[in-house]
Amino acid sequence: MARRMVNIDRNTPLLLPPSIQDWIADDDMARLVVDAVALVGEREMRFNWKGTGSEQYPPQMMLALLVFCYSSGIFSSRRIERATHRDVAVRFITGDTHPDHDTIARFRRENAPLFKACFTRVLELAREMNIKRIGAIAIDGTKLQANASKKRVRSWSQLQEQLPKLDKLVEELTARAEKADRAEAKDPDGDRLPQRLAQATQRRDALRQAMISLEEKTRRESETRESERRDHDDDDPGSPPRALPPEPRAQDTTNLTDPDAKLLPGKKGGYAPGYNAQLAVQADSRMPLILATAVCDHTNDRRQLAPMIHKTVEDHPETDRVLVDSGYDNSGQIHRMEKQYGVVIYCPPEERKEATPSGRRSKARQRTADFREGMKACLRGSFGQTVRQLRATTVEPVIGWIKETLGFRRFHLRGEAKVGMEWELVCLAFNLNLIHRLTRSATGLVPA
């Protein structure tokens, strides 16, 4: 029997130029990204009017390029640049142009307001499509690695010990260089001395800047904690937060590459520089839309409930119930948030061994114990009994999708502000992916 093969001809030129519109399907993710980005007005976009005069890439196209690549698991600016040549959908978004990796990285660093505006517009789009149905929300956090090495971590005591040694080394190298210049000697290592001097000076300056950053960070945290102590109401449940020293302690650490990153414990043991990424998700197992994001350097979630509720409820005032796990067990914060916003917070209280017998408790401890009993009673209600299952089918799968399916486990920017911007970009990519999946699989999604 004769074999019939499709003719693969790589040499004959095309008779007619192909249309970019024919490169991808009508329901491709790239088309949704382009349409969603088009909702963002030019007011939020950053144009380089005072540049060299060369043509620049349109901000809408660059934003669509970043969002689509992040939703496809491509995060590195160099990999995104390669995708503009290799990936048909990416070439559709860029109009077959090819911005270099430096342009992509600079655009990502400088357009935090644009990412925020797009995140808001996508949520408005979800509301119009009847995907956004606020009522109950679920909040959780996850640890993500920073763009920094553990080898670059220094404690305050190490900084105090190493800086005088580097000061002395710089003085010695400077004296040697000046002596060689005066004598005009043929030192065999003379051509290497300036490089050694520059390297030593650079290390010394890095340590000095790390000490300054750690001192400023410690002072800010101390002032914030003191403000919380002043605002604490003694009639509320929970103890006032502990005061923090205004000066760094010997064991306090900083990272020379990313001073905002902190050593965080990993699930499998050990510590690594990272951030605590928070997100609030619509408590709908079919439509777990991300509503708010935040990034901090705290090792646990105990103090993150109030900031996340502030961000979520102010943008989505129709929120009425908040679901969290026992890691957010903070009686004072839970009471304040319920009182301020009128929401009901479902939080399983941690099991704590009470050292003081109930008959000898102070009034403050008794108020806290009574409030915690109320938290347990809330979970025994009809809705409270489904809280654990609802969390397990909403916010936890979102985190799993981002870390496992998308493969985002490490930030590519440095500094808490830029890391928070990148986390919002990742969550924006998730929301668009969710909308794309729902519109392809469900026929009942129509504008509300």
243 and 289 in a single domain? The answer is no
* Structure tokens, 174: 């400077």
Backbone φ/ψ region at 425: left (φ over 0), alpha (ψ -120 to 50), beta: alpha
E strand residue ranges, 283-369: 290-296, 321-323, 344-346
Helix (H, G, I), strand (E, B) or coil at 54: coil
Q: Does 440 reside within a domain?
A: no
Q: Does 439 reside within a domain?
A: no
Please give the pLDDT value at position 448: 37
Contact 108, 75 (CB under 8 A): no
Contact 348, 317 (CB under 8 A): no
pLDDT by residue (tens digit) across 379-408? 888 888 888 889 989 999 999 999 999 999
Please give the pLDDT value at position 368: 84
Run of H or E residues at 169: helix 156-183
Please give the pLDDT value at position 63: 94
Contact 76, 412 (CB under 8 A): yes
> How many C-beta atoms lie closer than 10 Å to residue 100's C-beta?
13
Could you tell me whether strands 321-323 and 253-255 are parallel, antiparallel, or unpaired per DSSP bridges?
unpaired
Contact 298, 305 (CB under 8 A): no
| Residue that terminates a domain, selected from 253, 287, 307 | 253
285 and 356 in a single domain? The answer is yes
144 and 271 in a single domain? The answer is yes
Please give the pLDDT value at position 381: 83
As a whole number, mean pLDDT of residues 213-241 equals: 86
Where is average pLDDT lowest: 74-78, 134-138, 174-178?
174-178
Please give the pLDDT value at position 447: 41
275 and 394 in a single domain? The answer is yes
223 and 279 in a single domain? The answer is no
β-partners of residue 390 are: none
Domain residues for 36?
A: 20-110
Confidence category of residue 183, pLDDT binned at 50, 70, 90: low
199 and 294 in a single domain? The answer is no
Q: Does 260 reside within a domain?
A: no
Contact 302, 327 (CB under 8 A): yes
Confidence category of residue 188, pLDDT binned at 50, 70, 90: low
Average pLDDT, the chain: 87
Assign residue 401 the CATH number of its domain. Answer: 3.30.420
Confidence category of residue 161, pLDDT binned at 50, 70, 90: very high
pLDDT tops 90 at residue 277: yes
Confidence category of residue 120, pLDDT binned at 50, 70, 90: very high
pLDDT by residue (tens digit) across 248-267? 999 999 999 999 999 998 87
Please give the pLDDT value at position 170: 85
Provide the H-helix boundaries in 18-100: 29-37, 59-71, 77-86, 88-94
**Euclidean distance between CA atoms 180 and 1, whole angstroms:** 87
91 and 196 in a single domain? The answer is no
139 and 281 in a single domain? The answer is yes
Please give the pLDDT value at position 173: 83
pLDDT tops 70 at residue 33: yes
Where is average pLDDT lowest: 75-79, 236-240, 345-349?
236-240
158 and 66 in a single domain? The answer is no
Contact 197, 170 (CB under 8 A): yes
99 and 229 in a single domain? The answer is no
Helix axes 416-441, 59-71, angle to 10 degrees: 70
How many domains is the chain built from? Answer: 3
Q: Does 10 reside within a domain?
A: no
**Euclidean distance between CA atoms 261 and 258, whole angstroms:** 6
Please give the pLDDT value at position 357: 57
Q: Does 6 reside within a domain?
A: no
Could you tell me whether strands 153-155 and 136-145 are parallel, antiparallel, or unpaired per DSSP bridges?
unpaired
pLDDT tops 60 at residue 217: yes
Helix (H, G, I), strand (E, B) or coil at 292: strand
> How many C-beta atoms lie closer than 10 Å to residue 275's C-beta?
26
Please give the pLDDT value at position 232: 81
301 and 415 in a single domain? The answer is yes
pLDDT tops 50 at residue 50: no
Q: Does 218 reside within a domain?
A: yes
One-letter amino acid at 277 equals A
Q: Does 344 reside within a domain?
A: yes
Please give the pLDDT value at position 446: 41
194 and 307 in a single domain? The answer is no
Which one is predicted more confidently, 325 or 367?
325
Contact 237, 332 (CB under 8 A): yes
Please give the pLDDT value at position 211: 92
pLDDT by residue (tens digit) across 428-440? 999 999 999 998 8
Confidence category of residue 186, pLDDT binned at 50, 70, 90: low
Residue 378, C-beta contacts closer than 8 angstroms, at least 6 positions apart? 344, 346, 384
Instruction: Look up the pTM and report it.
Output: 0.89
Q: Does 171 reside within a domain?
A: yes
pLDDT tops 90 at residue 144: yes
β-partners of residue 137 are: 282, 322
pLDDT cut 90: percent of the chain above it: 55
